Structure 1
Amino acid sequence: MIIHRLGEENSLLNKFVAEIRDVNIQKDSMRFRRNIERIGEILGYELSKALSYKSKLVETPLGSKEMSLPNDELVLCSVLRAGLPLHQGLLNYFDAAENAFISAYRHHRGDEDAFEVIVNYFAAPSLENKTLVLTDPMLATGKTLENVLKALKKHGTPRQIHIISVIGSSLGIEHITEVFPENTQLWIAAIDAQLNNKGYIIPGIGDAGDLAYGEKL
């Protein structure tokens, strides 16, 4: 797997990551969603440099200009519900992309720390020979993305897979490196070293879905 750790360089990206981590700024759910969206825009811009391009003649009112334009058939696939703001950020830039959505959630048995990832909703176009962009803001254990990859197989084989995440754990990245194709590319803003006993990233941000849309039962 090719890993692009974009937060290692000084840029405006780190300001938005700092704000989604900040417990005081987190209280404003609208700002939290907007910051995730803006992070998605930045990661999407960086990802665009790795796409294939084709020359096209563009007519202007005063003449014509040869330009190099993206040539990939993109499918943006997001994990509900936390992935929605990140998805929107990417869609702001890849406005012609097709879209897919999948519901994947952790199921804890009682008060046990152990959990399984359950996928119970999936809507997607054909992925055959297309460029698949998987978005999941928090790449914790990597089990969610592993189960998403399994669910995607019946929709065809993508030509290329890109993963977009805001914050990941070292263990989660190690896990998806083992299960995804070798030429998969990961575009991520920050990597934290630890997971707690419930599989949440430390220091991370907390529960991205709850921060964006409110607590769930």
Structure 2
Amino acid sequence: MKIHHLSEQNSVLNTFISEIRNVEIQNDSMRFRRNIERIGEILGYEMSKHFNYKASTIKTPLGDCSINLLENNVVLCSILRAGVPLHNGLLNYFDTAENAFISAYRHHKHDPESFEIVVEYLACPSLENKTLVLADPMLATGQSMLATFEALKPFGTPKEVHLVSAIGAQEGVDFIADHFDKNTHLWIAAIDKKLNEKGYIMPGLGDAGDLAFGEKLQH
């Protein structure tokens, strides 16, 4: 797997990462969503540098202009509900992208410290020979990302696969590196060292879905 860890180089991205982590700022859910969206925009911009382009000519009021334009047929797929702000950030930069949405959540049967990933809702266009961008803001164990990818397989074989996350744990990064094709790209803003006993990223930021949209009742 090709890993692009953006915070290894200092940029304004650090400001948005610090604010989604900061407990004094997290209470503002609108600001949290916007910061996740801005992180998605930055990750999308950097990802676009690795896409394919073709020479094109456009007409301006004063003449013709040659420019290279994006050639990839992009499908953005996000894991509900936490993935929505990240999806919006990516969609801000890929105007013509098709969109897919999937629900994948942790189901705790008996032991609160163990879980399985359950996929229920899925809406997806054909992925055949397209560029699949799979977005989940928090890459903890990596199991949700893998379960989502497996659920998408009946929709066709993508030409290339890009995974996008705001924050991940090294364990999750290692897990998907072992389970995805070596040509898969991971675009991630920050990588933390470990998971706690419940499978949450440390220091992480908490539950991204709750911070973006309010606390939920467990079922």
Instruction: Tell me which residue corresponds to 2:148.
Output: 148
1:79 counterpart letter in structure 2: I
SS at match of 2:7: helix
2:116 counterpart letter in structure 1: E
Rounded to whole Å, the distance in 1 between the matches of 2:181 and 2:118 is 22
Rounded to whole Å, the distance in 1 between the matches of 2:157 and 2:198 is 33
Rounded to whole Å, the distance in 2 between the matches of 1:208 and 1:136 is 10
The answer to whether the aligner puts 1:28 opposite 2:28 as a matched pair is yes
Instruction: Tell me which residue corresponds to 2:201.
Output: 201
Q: Deviations over 1:147-199 (max 9, x none)?
A: 01110110000000001100001110111011111100000000001101110
Deviation of the 1:109 alpha carbon: 1.8
SS at match of 1:216: coil
Instruction: Tell me which residue corresponds to 1:43.
Output: 43
Q: Which blocks of at least 5 consecutive residues in structure 2 are unaligned?
A: none
Instruction: Tell me which residue corresponds to 2:63.
Output: 63
Rounded to whole Å, the distance in 2 between the matches of 1:187 and 1:2 is 9
Q: Deviations over 1:8-35 (max 9, x none)?
A: 1110000000000000100000000000
Rounded to whole Å, the distance in 2 between the matches of 1:72 and 1:102 is 22
Instruction: Tell me which residue corresponds to 1:72.
Output: 72
Q: Deviations over 1:119-161 (max 9, x none)?
A: 0010000000000000000000000011011101100000000
Q: Which blocks of at least 5 consecutive residues in structure 1 are unaligned?
A: none
2:81 counterpart letter in structure 1: R
Instruction: Tell me which residue corresponds to 2:54.
Output: 54
Task: Report the count of equivalent residues.
Answer: 217
Q: Deviations over 1:55-77 (max 9, x none)?
A: 00111111001100110000000
Deviation of the 1:111 alpha carbon: 4.5
SS at match of 1:54: strand
The answer to whether the aligner puts 1:90 opposite 2:90 as a matched pair is yes
Instruction: Tell me which residue corresponds to 1:178.
Output: 178
Identity %: 64
The answer to whether the aligner puts 1:135 opposite 2:143 as a matched pair is no
1:37 counterpart letter in structure 2: E
Task: State the TM-score, normalized to the length of structure 1.
Answer: 0.99
Task: State the TM-score, normalized to the length of structure 2.
Answer: 0.98
